[in-house]
Amino acid sequence: MQEMAGRRPFTDEFKALKESHMNHASRGAPPKVLPIVIDGVRYSQVLNARRIGVDAGGGWMMASDDKTGERLWTLCVYEVTIDPADETGVQEVFFKSMTRIARRHALLIVNEDDAAFEVDLDTRQVKPAK
C-alpha cells in the first residue's frame, strides 16, 4: 500500500478492528427472485415475513391471484432460526432461485445456503429436492 502525503498508513490494530466490523456488518440485499405465474396464480417469495404476521428470517412463499393481487395462501418452505443475541439481518436466508419443475405443478426453490426444496402447488407439501 502506498503512503499518501500527510496520511499515516493503517495500523495493524485498525485493520483488525475494521475487518472485525465488516464481518458483523448487515447483509446485502437478498437475491432478486422473480415471481412465477401459473394458471393465473402468482407465486413469490415473501421478503418481509412480518407483513404476513410471521416473525421469521426468510423461507416463506405466497400465492396470490395474478389479476387482483389477493393473497390466496402462504407457506413456510424452510425454517430459519434467528438467534436474538445476534444481528437479525445477517441470519436471514432467502431464496436464491425459484423455477417451475417441468411437467409438474411444482416449484424448485434453492436458498442462499444452497439447500433445495420441491413445493407441490396442489398439496402445498414441501420436501427436500434430490
* CATH no., domain 29-128: 2.40.10.480
Helices (H) and strands (E) in the chain, counts: 1, 8
Residue 107's Cβ-count burial label (10 Å; 0-12, 13-18, 19+) is buried
**pLDDT for residue 26:** 67
pLDDT per residue of the chain (130 residues) written in tens, 0 to 9: 344 444 444 444 434 334 433 444 567 888 999 999 999 999 999 988 777 877 767 799 999 999 999 999 999 999 887 777 776 667 889 999 999 999 999 999 999 999 999 999 999 999 999 8
Please answer whether residues 94 and 45 qualify as being in contact, where contact means their C-beta atoms are separated by less than 8 angstroms: yes
Entry pTM = 0.74
